A and B are shown apart, each in its own frame.
Chain A
Amino acid sequence: MMTDIVFVALSIFAIAGAIVMILSKSPIYSALGLLITMLSIGGLFALLSASFLFMVQIIVYAGAIMTLILFILMFLNIKEEDLPKEPKKYSLVALGILLVLPLNILVLKAVSNLPEKDLNIVDGNFGDIKPVGMALYNNWLVSFELISILLLVALVGSIVLAKKRKPKENKGEQ
């Protein structure tokens, strides 16, 4: 009973934050709406007894990525006239709803045909850090190594992109 109320509250917060994110004009409000959505999804992970992913969601998404987004927003010092004018925003939103509606109906119909199971919080160590780590290092080792290479490439790439360009006249000598 308690988990039902928590689930309904978290889903309402998640969807409301997402709607605020795509409808608000200022990017700061969008970022705050996304932050609410991330935190609510972390709570839903906890309800699904994925305690390690709950921590990862809070630390990586709500901590690191949202801080990065807000930092860039403050750093760019965006004025009102830099924002694009979007006169057709609401009609495009209606078009998008029409486009995604068939996919939603398909997926929900497919899921509703599956046999019902109890999704309550389980006792024991399901989703704890040790079983997830064992699964990650035993069955998913190649993916883990590839992800580490991807993170290294992203690190080097963002530094190369963000560093100062050389002046134009040096370009021919290299």
Chain B
Amino acid sequence: MISLSSYAFVSMMLFSIGVIGVIARKNIFVIYMSIELMLNGITLFLVTFARYHFNLDAQVMTVLIIAIAAAEAAIFLSVIILLFRSKKSLDTDVFTTLTQGEKS
């Protein structure tokens, strides 16, 4: 029998891998995909608790989260296109024009 903890383990693993991807990588595409992965881990958690409590509100929240992820995908990818056009690189260390202090 599959317990609640195993679903929680899988969703927390996915969320943590997303956090690690945001921390460790410099490729802006991989950072975007890690954010998507974090959203997916959270939706898995929500759906697990919807089944656990036999309540549909968490599934509705998941539908709303998926809609937010679609909007985020459109904006993020167009911003990536603009950044790549202007700097010809995917490195996040290049996009430092909004920071104060010395130029890298």
Q: How far is A53 from B69 in the complex, measured between Cα atoms in Å? A: 14
B10 to chain A, nearest CB (A): 4
Give residues of chain B (42-96) contacting chain A, Cβ–Cβ below 8 Å.
43-44, 47-48, 50-52, 54, 56-57, 59-64, 66-75, 77-82, 84, 88-93
Give residues of chain A (71-89) contacting chain B, Cβ–Cβ below 8 Å.
72-73, 75-76, 78, 82-86, 89
Interface string of A26-56 (1 = CB under 8 A from B): 0100110010011001001101111011001
Contact A108 B5 (CB under 8 A): yes
CB < 8 Å neighbour of B23 from A21, A78, A83, A92: A92
Work out how many contacts link A and B, with CB atoms closer than 8 A.
Answer: 238
Residues of A within 8 A of B61 (CB): 140
B→A interface (CB under 8 Å): 1-10, 12-14, 16-21, 23-27, 29-30, 32-34, 36-37, 40, 43-44, 47-48, 50-52, 54, 56-57, 59-64, 66-75, 77-82, 84, 88-93
A/B interface sample: 27 pairs, CB < 8 A: A7-B6, A11-B10, A18-B14, A18-B17, A18-B37, A22-B30, A27-B29, A30-B33, A34-B37, A41-B40, A45-B47, A50-B59, A50-B62, A53-B43, A68-B77, A69-B77, A83-B27, A84-B93, A96-B20, A117-B52, A132-B63, A135-B59, A140-B64, A150-B71, A151-B70, A157-B78, A161-B79
A→B interface (CB under 8 Å): 3-4, 7, 11, 14-15, 18-19, 21-22, 27, 30-31, 34, 37-38, 41, 44-45, 47-50, 52-53, 56-57, 60-61, 64-65, 68-69, 72-73, 75-76, 78, 82-86, 89, 92-93, 95-97, 99-100, 103-104, 107-108, 111-112, 114, 116-120, 122, 126-127, 131-132, 135-136, 139-140, 143-144, 147, 150-151, 153-155, 157-158, 161-162
